[in-house]
């Protein structure tokens, strides 16, 4: 498992940033050797665009198309909507990306600023599987 914070050097709207994050996350997962992934995001538009064949909004069409070219490489994948309040670790990673110059990668480690959120997510997973 790994984590990635990457600064995007050009201005993007919220929708475009979510689509770019999905693309970066998917490529990062592939590079880590993961072959089964869940793409989780708080933009229903991006998640819908990734999981259906319907055309994405024009502003993210190229990003979504590029991301979709990676999907057949995975044994299994799923795109899932998660409200921002249920996706706090990802939100904190995105905020952290604004403070760095380029990119920081953690492999087999959890960034210190999301440890409590990840711990909470793990506990929540256990309680929902009962």
Residues 6+ apart with CB under 8 A from 69: none
Residues 6+ apart with CB under 8 A from 123: none
Question: How many CB atoms within 10 Å of residue 113?
Answer: 13
pLDDT in tens, the chain (130 residues): 788 888 887 788 989 999 999 999 999 999 999 999 999 899 999 999 999 999 999 999 999 999 999 999 999 999 999 887 777 777 787 787 888 788 888 888 888 888 888 787 777 766 554 3
Q: What domains does the chain contain, in order, with CATH numbers? A: 2-128 (3.30.420.10)
Residue 94: both structure tokens together: 């995105």
Whole-angstrom distance, CA of residue 89 vs CA of residue 130: 23
């Amino acid at each position: 498992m790994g984590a990635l914070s990457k600064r995007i050097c050009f201005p993007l709207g919220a929708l475009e940033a979510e689509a770019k994050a999905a693309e970066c996350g998917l490529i990062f997962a592939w590079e880590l050797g993961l072959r089964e992934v869940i793409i989780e995001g708080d933009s229903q538009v991006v998640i819908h665009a990734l999981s259906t064949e319907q055309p994405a909004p024009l502003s993210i069409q190229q990003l979504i198309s590029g991301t979709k070219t990676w999907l057949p490489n995975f044994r299994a994948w799923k795109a899932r909507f998660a409200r921002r309040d249920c996706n706090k670790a990802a939100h904190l990673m995105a905020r952290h990306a604004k403070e760095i110059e380029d990119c920081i990668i953690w492999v087999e480690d959890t960034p210190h600023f999301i440890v409590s959120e990840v711990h909470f997510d793990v506990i929540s997973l256990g309680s929902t599987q009962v």
